[in-house]
């Protein structure tokens, strides 16, 4: 999926989010072509709001190593070297991860989600967390047909450390129905399809990086 294709998807959005009733209908339907699937199952009373579904924080995280290496250069580092810049951490339910000011961590949703081909979803931070300084550092668009956990880019923009507990409601999914989705090419084959843990950047797969590398070698 390149940038132009993603932009075209956004332009095809109906412009309105699914309502609470529409979300609940999608969760309950037996039609796999329309169903929004979550596991563990969503608590309809606690997690489905007026126009969004709250998702919970998972137990796996990717932490970045701050000072061991001077620079991360995607044009020079090989794919197998990317792992030296981060480490994976498991935090059990009932335990906590401390996120320090100006620190970024990759987490993931506790829920595994599958979208039908006529919906896209936007991941948004919950305002209750934002008021404590915790933000989603980048907007995330979940493509039609996606299946997997959702990687969350969590940043502490506040002045004090924040304790993150797996299982707590951490973000929201807002769903949009696509127009003319029958004529749209299949989009489910994205880079992070089928993820069951937070995924580190796959920027090194970008075709434009090959062009830049070639220019650097001249």
Q: Dig out the tokens for 78 from the structure.
A: 């090989």
pLDDT tens digit string along 29-65? 999 899 999 999 989 999 999 999 999 999 999 998 7
Interatomic CA distance for residues 65 and 69, integer angstroms: 8
Check: pTM over 0.85? Answer yes or no.
Answer: no
Residue 15: the pLDDT is 58
Domain count, the chain: 1
pLDDT digits (tens, 9 = 90+) for 92-106: 999 999 999 999 999
Instruction: Look up the CATH number of the domain holding residue 66.
Output: 2.70.40.10
Q: State the Cα–Cα distance between residues 51 and 117, nearest whole angstrom.
A: 19
Name the residue range of residue 40's domain: 3-216
Given a cut of 60, whether residue 7 has pLDDT beyond it is no
What's 75's DSSP letter? T
Residues designated as active site: 153
**In terms of DSSP bridges, do strands 104-108 and 60-64 run parallel, antiparallel, or are they unpaired?**
antiparallel
Query: What is the per-residue pLDDT across 143-194, written as a single tens digit (0 to 9) for each?
Result: 889 999 999 999 999 999 999 999 999 999 999 998 766 544 454 445 566 6
């Amino acid at each position: 999926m390149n940038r132009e294709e993603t932009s075209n998807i956004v332009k095809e959005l109906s412009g309105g989010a699914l309502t609470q009733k529409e979300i609940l209908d999608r969760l309950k339907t037996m039609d796999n072509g329309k169903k929004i699937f979550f596991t563990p199952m969503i608590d309809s009373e606690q997690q489905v709001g007026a126009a969004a579904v709250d998702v919970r924080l998972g137990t796996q995280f990717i932490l970045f190593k701050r000072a061991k290496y001077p620079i991360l250069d995607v044009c020079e580092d090989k794919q197998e070297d990317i792992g030296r810049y981060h480490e994976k951490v498991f935090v059990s339910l009932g335990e906590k991860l401390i996120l320090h000011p100006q620190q970024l961590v990759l987490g993931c949703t506790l829920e595994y989600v599958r979208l039908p081909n006529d919906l896209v979803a936007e991941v948004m931070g919950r305002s209750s967390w934002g008021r404590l300084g915790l933000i989603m550092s980048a907007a995330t668009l979940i493509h039609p047909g996606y299946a997997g956990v959702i990687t969350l880019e969590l940043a502490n923009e506040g002045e004090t450390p924040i304790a993150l507990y797996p299982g707590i409601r951490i973000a929201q999914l807002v769903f949009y129905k696509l127009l003319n989705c029958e004529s749209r090419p299949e989009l489910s084959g994205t880079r992070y399809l089928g993820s069951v843990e937070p995924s580190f950047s796959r920027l090194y797969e970008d075709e434009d990086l090959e062009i830049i590398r070639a220019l650097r070698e001249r």
